[in-house]
Structure 1
Amino acid sequence: MHSQNQSLLAALYACVNACEHCASACLQEDDVKMMARCIQLDRDCADICDLTARFVARGSEHAQHLLRECAEICKACGDECAQHTHMQHCQECADACRRCEEACRAGLQG
């Protein structure tokens, strides 16, 4: 497998893990309702990253479409998580989302 794909896959899977952890941690917060948007975006981001990784790994001709969408959702999730400065899990998720967004954009051809 091409080294660019390996680093992209690593970023995608790291983002899946960070988003899943963040969503679970948000569900343990005292004010879960305040974290609803974060949890929703975490779940969306984890799912799109997982799906995108599978398409990239198999060399699908449709991976490019997913990379665009994945970058967009990673940005939205990262922006949301970054607002929760007092929560370490959100900050770690925001960092993973930003790295994944960059990797997805770098993986786009043309």
Structure 2
Amino acid sequence: MTTTQSHDSLLETCIQACLDCLRECENCANACLDSDMVQMMAACIKRCRDCADTCDLCARFMARNSDIHGQMCSICAEACDHCAAECEKHDHDHCKQCAESCRRCAESCRQMATAMA
């Protein structure tokens, strides 16, 4: 496999991980907002919204092959780590699914950031 193919494959994988994470974060935030304990879930909602927005922007930077998508991936990995850490504090299925997606996205984004360094 050539370097370009490797980069393209890594890029596609990372974009998909960001989009999957975006979806899970939005689902988690919405489920938390619909719960009876919305005040208790405020930190989770905030982290999910930040992570979803970061994943969206990161995917867009990669899709347009921005010169700074490597840096954006580093920021996205950090946002995903923060969101996963918060979601892992809760026992709801949507929080568990979100945390898993965030961990996968963070790993993929770190690989992309390293490849772009």
Query: What band does the TM-score fall into relative to the shorter chain?
Result: over 0.9
RMSD, aligned CA: 1.0
TM-score by length of 2: 0.90
Count of aligned positions: 109
Name structure 2 gaps, 5 residues minimum.
Answer: none
Distance in 2 of aligned mates of 1:4 and 1:105: 11
Deviation at 1:80, TM superposition (A): 0.3
The alpha carbon displacement at 1:29 in A equals 1.1
| Distance (whole Å) between structure 1 residues aligned to residue 55 and residue 18 of structure 2 | 5
Deviations 1:8-28 (A, max 9, x none): 011000000000000000001
Q: Could you say which residue in structure 2 is the equivalent of 1:89?
A: 94
State whether structure 2 residue 20 is matched by structure 1 residue 18. Answer: no
Give the whole-Å Cα distance in 1 for the aligned partners of 2:70 and 2:111.
11
Q: Which runs of 4+ in 1 moved over 6 A?
A: none
Say if 2:70 is the partner of 1:64.
yes
Residue 64 of structure 1: how far off its partner (Å): 1.5
User: Please, which moves more after superposition, 56-65 or 45-54?
Assistant: 56-65
**Mapped partners of 2:9, 2:70: distance in 1:** 17
The Cα of 1:90 is off from its aligned counterpart by: 0.2
Q: Does 1:47 align with 2:34?
A: no
Sequence identity percentage: 46
1:48-103 C-alpha deviation (Å, 9 max, x unpaired)? 00000000011100111211110001000001001102x00000000000000000
SS in structure 2 at match of 1:59: coil
Distance 2:69 2:43 in 1: 27
For the residues of structure 1 that align with 2:88 and 2:94, how far apart are their CA atoms? 10
